[in-house]
A and B are shown apart, each in its own frame.
Chain A
């Protein structure tokens, strides 16, 4: 391995390893809430705890943007989107705190939060 290679491996290790290991500590295991935001502004905070009723949320935006979000106890997903690539739908079910699905064309994001985090945010 050449001198430059070692530097690349070192820096990569410093960047990649924490991003792999940190989530294991930071993440709780239970999904508490899901926040739905557009442009960073909260549209709705959904309860995902055991008592939550399964439901679908339709979110309409400008220029005919339409996203359907499916909520079940403990998990949430982007069910449908009329954006061109549909990457948000491909993210599948979001089950753990920290899981996100982004619909970039509609600037929409779903983020799962742990059970305790609501207090921290509203405080």
Chain B
């Protein structure tokens, strides 16, 4: 894994605030897009999670994720169930991505991390839905979600690779 950049405390705060704002904006933008299939989303906010993971540290990524989900629920509306779904998805997804980057470091490429994150996000969501309706039958919908997770995860991962290379050339 690339060594995290050393930021002064003020810079760190400002950058994290910007990251949170960007994550929220991407999340809000996504809500404007037409829903093609229930539960299928591009997951653009994961771009921010990954960038914070890469250039800062995992603790910051958790802070941005937690605040983003809480604030998105507050600003854009959403019931406790939607909140539970995004939380489960987000926690599982970030845990998997942090773990992969820790274990493999340089030996893993960003699209792979991103795909793993996207797929675990969808798995987490299905688990919450299955818990709420008390039935495992919703697992029948997994193929759709897993496939969309792979596609959107790849897209997000490639985007992050491109942005990371850009940031690297300016550091």
B122 → chain A, closest Cβ, in Å? Answer: 11
B140 touches A99 (CB 8 A): yes
Q: Interface majority SS on B: helix, strand, loop or mixed?
A: helix
Q: Mark A1-42, 1 if CB is under 8 A from B, else 0.
A: 111110111011001100110010000000000000101110
Closest to A22 in B: B143
A12 touches B132 (CB 8 A): no
List residues of chain B with CB within 8 A of the CB of A105: 79, 81
A109 touches B109 (CB 8 A): no
Is B146 located at the chain interface by the 8 A CB criterion?
yes
Is A73 located at the chain interface by the 8 A CB criterion?
no
Q: Which of B11-19, B31-39, B86-94 contacts A (4 or more CB under 8 A)?
A: B31-39
Q: Chain B: how many interface residues by the 8 Å CB criterion?
A: 36
Is B164 located at the chain interface by the 8 A CB criterion?
no
List residues of chain A with CB within 8 A of the CB of B85: 104
Is B29 located at the chain interface by the 8 A CB criterion?
no
Q: What total of A-B pairs shows CB separation below 8 Å?
A: 99
A37 touches B133 (CB 8 A): yes
Is B112 located at the chain interface by the 8 A CB criterion?
yes
B100 touches A4 (CB 8 A): yes
Given A15-B146, A100-B138, A107-B132, do A4 and B107 touch, yes or no (CB 8 Å)? yes
A89 → chain B, closest Cβ, in Å? Answer: 9
B112 touches A16 (CB 8 A): no
B137 touches A3 (CB 8 A): no
What class of interface size applies to chain A in its complex with B? 35 or more
Q: Mark B130-150, 1 if CB is under 8 A from A, else 0.
A: 001111011111110011001
Q: Mark A67-102, 1 if CB is under 8 A from B, else 0.
A: 000000000000000001101101100000011101
Given A98-B140, A104-B81, do A8 and B115 touch, yes or no (CB 8 Å)? yes
A-facing residues in B17-55 (Cβ within 8 Å): 35, 37-39
List residues of chain B with CB within 8 A of the CB of A20: 143, 146-147
Determine the distance from Cα of A90 to Cα of B139 in the docked complex, in whole angstroms. Answer: 17
Is B56 located at the chain interface by the 8 A CB criterion?
no
List residues of chain A with CB within 8 A of the CB of B134: 37, 39-41
Determine the distance from Cα of A16 to Cα of B133 in the docked complex, in whole angstroms. Answer: 23
